Chain A
Amino acid sequence: MISYKNISLKFEDKLIFEDFSFEIAKGDKAALKGRSGSGKTSLLNLAMGFLKPDKGKIYIDGKELNGSNIKMLRKQMCWLPQSIAGFNSDSVLSMLEHPFTFHLNRRNSPSRNLIESYLNQVNLGNDILNQELDKVSGGEKQRLGLIICKLLKRKIIFLDEPTSALDKESLKSVAEFIMKDPEMTVLSASHDDEWLKYCDKIIEL
């Protein structure tokens, strides 16, 4: 599903990776483990086409990632960044609905019932939908970001430190929400041992 082949990457003359390769199969729940600055986020950015490797290739679903097919390949991907941007939304509900104002997703607007069901699965009450986004905690925003990924029904999900603002109980609910879906291929960057327990493949950097 995702294949990094002989990747070399430099940042300001500092070599981050040299001839680095790994693969993730469809449905895998993989994690990139390493200290800060080890290049976890860079590997995610490479797969999303936001960075170009100095050497090597990346394959998504058997297709070599390049400038001409990145738009098409991104249609199967979703990403949860470290600190989630809430679009220009006022309320939580408008944040969850915003991606469905984009042309690509317009036909897939989720029902209120589905949204509420997902909220319950990640330990969030329905009353959060009317809350102002500014008043929502970091942990709640992370869970809302994951709900967006799931509502978008993407096959590949990239998670960057998905548990950085979660307590143990929330982490468990999030892990079950994302990791139990056999159709979803997950690549996360994390150094949280609790999260790593839920991953079936760990790539140490």
Chain B
Amino acid sequence: MGASDINWLNLLLGSLILLIPVAVLLYYKTGLTKTMLVAFGRMALQLFLVGLYLMYIFKLNSLIVNFLWLLVMIFAASISIIKRSEIQIKRFFIPVLMGVLADVAVNFLVFIFIISGSENFFNARYFIPLSGMIIGNCLSSGIIGIRSFYGALSKNEEKYRYYLMCGASRNEALFPFMTAAMKDAFSPTIASTAGFRS
């Protein structure tokens, strides 16, 4: 079944669904209406520009351009994880970048060697959206995990120190915080994987 284009009028009508959250936010006097509308405007503009760009990338279908695009996405995702996790960019850029790269590399290997085969996979129509999905998942899990880890650590600094003073190594003292962060990071993915089955 081929994909059909959405015309501008339908797109505009579709976006009217936004009136529901706007009404809720206004009713409860959250003060978030303006922020949400601005965010929506930014998202629409970004998607428009990305859409235009992707049209050319899909037409061009060059392996080098595809990989350059991937690198840009990985770089941007790493910066986004660091900024939204509110950690120091200078100290954490390389570790976070390595984490995103590792995630992408492992998933790519699975796609290339097990699922789709290299010929299909490197076609821009598969390569770009799949990369986006992998990086998107990595982004949300990364932000949740890092925020949870450092949040719990700063709240329970005394507990961490107590572990150290009882003879724990740094890794042993950090282990419970790591466990909590992993649980938080994986929970949304597990929940969405499980779906609504009961």
The stretch from A59-67, A100-108, A194-202 touching chain B is A100-108
Per-position 1/0 for A72-100, Cβ under 8 A of B: 00110111010111011000000000110
Task: Decide if A48 touches B168 in the complex (CB within 8 Å).
Answer: no
B residues near A88, Cβ cutoff 8 Å = 176
**Which residue in A50, A75, A87, A158 is a CB contact (below 8 Å) of B163?**
A87
A148 within 8 A of B: yes
B169 within 8 A of A: yes
Per-position 1/0 for A146-159, Cβ under 8 A of B: 00100010000010
Total A-B contacts with CB atoms under 8 angstroms apart: 47
CA distance A195 to B162 in the complex (A): 23
Task: Decide if A102 touches B159 in the complex (CB within 8 Å).
Answer: no
Closest A residue, CB atoms, query B162: A85
B residues near A98, Cβ cutoff 8 Å = 166
Interface residues on A, range: 20 to 34
A residues near B156, Cβ cutoff 8 Å = 85
CA distance A83 to B169 in the complex (A): 22
Interface residues of B (CB under 8 A from A): 156, 158-159, 161-169, 172, 176
Q: List 16 A-B contacts (CB under 8 A).
A: A48-B165, A74-B165, A78-B166, A81-B158, A81-B161, A81-B162, A85-B158, A87-B176, A98-B166, A99-B166, A99-B167, A102-B168, A102-B169, A102-B172, A104-B168, A105-B166
